[in-house]
Amino acid sequence: MAKRGKTSQQDGPQPSIRNRKARHDYLITETLECGLQLTGTEVKSLRNGQASLQEGYVRASLDPLGLTLHSVHIAEYPNASSAHQHEPTRTRNLLAHKREIKSLARQAATKGVTIVPLEIIWRDGRAKLVIGVGTGKKSWDKRQALKAKAHRRDIELRDS
């Protein structure tokens, strides 16, 4: 009897795709891990680490209850035929529980609050998107954060 387990594609370390600018531009108050509804070529491109979350954002709606991911670029998979290729910046559905979607929609309805994609990770061979609810930082907030980060780095260098 053959053992069931992970396939050969899932064995090695999977690339984690991060939106490094999101935590710089937004004060993230809450995070949530959602599933992604993807096509086959999108999954293969993500396994190669070929995606960009920089311009992406998430919309939560109550009327047709759902979460959608907009403006995230997942590169075309080079080995696929043109008939099976996906559109790189198409709108993708996110998978979450109904109560989580309602909570996110209520939070996003308040002024100054937005939902941003933070990271694409792999759990049990499936791509998951970590999203964050955040408010935009002012330019002086960003400068103070950079100064504090540089100060912490200097202290760590002195201690070691």
Mean pLDDT score, 146-151: 90
Highest mean pLDDT among 14-23, 87-96, 136-145: 87-96
Regarding pTM above 0.85, the answer is: no
Q: How many angstroms separate the Cα of 153 from the Cα of each of 139, 141, 145, 160?
A: 21, 18, 12, 11
30-39, 119-128, 135-144: least confidently modelled range: 135-144
Mean pLDDT, the chain, rounded, equals 89
- Domains annotated on the chain, with CATH: 15-159 (2.40.280.10)
Question: Which of 17, 86, 93 is CA-nearest to residue 52?
Answer: 17
With contact defined as beta carbons under 8 Å apart, do 67 and 129 qualify? Answer: no
Residue 160's pLDDT band (boundaries 50, 70, 90)? Answer: confident
CB atoms closer than 10 angstroms to residue 81: 8
Q: Which residues does residue 119 pair with via DSSP β-bridges, in sequence order?
A: 18, 130
More confident position, 159 or 131:
131
pLDDT higher than threshold 50 for residue 87: yes
